[in-house]
Amino acid sequence: MLQRLRVKRRAFEGAFMSSPFRRRLELLKFLHREDLIFADRLTRQYEDFDKGRVLLQEGGRLQRTSFVLDGWAIRYKTVRDGGRQILNFILPGDVFGLYALLFDRSEHAVEAITPMTVGSIPATQALDTLTTTPRLGLVLAWMAGRDERILDEQIVRVGRRHGAVRMAHLLVELHVRLARAGLEKELELPLNQILLSDALGISHVHAHRLFRQLESKALIERRGQSVALIDLQGLAELAGFDVHYLTFSLRPRASGPLS
């Protein structure tokens, strides 16, 4: 799998315009040409990270805002007894460290769970960006709002959904988010059972049992260290998935005063 990611990465270098981040920006439509050029400049200088690399530590200084060009990361907090709770997954096209603008230190950690390519800018420069290219600032704000909706749904998932439904719901969400970044063909998610258990708030033994349930219904399949989504429709039905919270819904008038 590592090899496959490398190939993808090279593709971006050749045709940068189609990176997941750029793709996400374009989907929002109301950005002007100069905004996109500016955004490209921000992400032109990127850095590679190995799988397992901790990009940000709990309590660590928060100095940069980052844009994921390729690869997955997790945002998590650890608890007293040693376990950890994954708060959210960071996917290609996502931004993290947005609040570096405002907060001095991070309350959560970020760790790469695949090889990653990420671009970043210093927090101070990000602040300038917001004032000089307000449309782009609006996009960042939109992404922050979207993140909050995803967190809301994670609370519902962990608080009110049980068993296989809880797992299925997460898998569908991740697929929809990938699709939004132009990766709709990506049906193999780099998730092992430990990651799933940390994200769903269950033990790894139980994660294995739920995993088996979905597998026995021919909804998913295990492939090495990742999960293949076999029957998306079936997963979505089982999970009672309502895509609405992930749907593009930028307020029509919002672009008015700024464009």
Partner DNA sequence: CGTATATTTGAAAGCTGTCAACACTTGTGG
Partner DNA sequence: CCACAAGTGTTGACAGCTTTCAAATATACG
List interacting residues with a copy of itself (CB under 8 A).
59, 62, 77, 79-80, 83-85, 87, 99-105, 107-108, 123-124, 127-128, 131, 134, 138, 141-142, 144-145, 147-149, 151-156, 158-161, 200-201, 240, 244-245, 249-254, 257
Q: How many residues bind DNA (CB under 7 A)?
A: 21
Distance set, CA 38 to CA 20, 28, 54, 98, 221 (Å): 16, 16, 28, 17, 41
Query: Which of DNA, a copy of itself, none has residue 108 at its interface (CB below 5 to 8 Å by kind)?
Result: a copy of itself
Query: Which of DNA, a copy of itself, none has residue 6 at its interface (CB below 5 to 8 Å by kind)?
Result: none
Judged by CB under 7 A, the chain residues 114 through 143 that form the site for DNA are none
Nearest to 219 by CA among 237, 207, 232, 200: 232
Position among 192, 198, 217, 234 found at the interface with DNA (CB under 7 A): 192
Nearest to 220 by CA among 170, 179, 151, 156: 170
Query: Which of DNA, a copy of itself, none has residue 172 at its interface (CB below 5 to 8 Å by kind)?
Result: none
Instruction: Classify strands 95-96 and 116-122 as parallel, antiparallel or unpaired.
Output: unpaired
- 52, 111 contact by CB (below 8 A): yes
Output the smallest distance, CB 236 to DNA, in A: 20
Q: Which runs of E-coded beta strand occur in 109-186?
A: 109-112, 116-122
Judged by CB under 7 A, the chain residues 71 through 110 that form the site for DNA are none
HSE-CB of 180 using CA atoms within 13 angstroms: 20
CB closer to a copy of itself, 33 vs 81: 81
Angle between helices 193-200 and 204-216 (to 10 degrees): 110
- The one-character DSSP state at 245 is G
Nearest to 190 by CA among 1, 44, 13: 1
Judged by CB under 7 A, the chain residues 155 through 184 that form the site for DNA are 162-163
Q: Is 204 in the site for DNA (CB under 7 A)?
A: yes
Query: Which of a copy of itself, DNA, none has residue 149 at its interface (CB below 5 to 8 Å by kind)?
Result: a copy of itself
CB closer to a copy of itself, 10 vs 80: 80
Query: Which of DNA, a copy of itself, none has residue 206 at its interface (CB below 5 to 8 Å by kind)?
Result: DNA
Q: What are phi and psi of 241, to 5 degrees?
A: -75, 125
Query: Which of a copy of itself, DNA, none has residue 65 at its interface (CB below 5 to 8 Å by kind)?
Result: none
Q: Extract the tokens encoding 21.
A: 């981040």
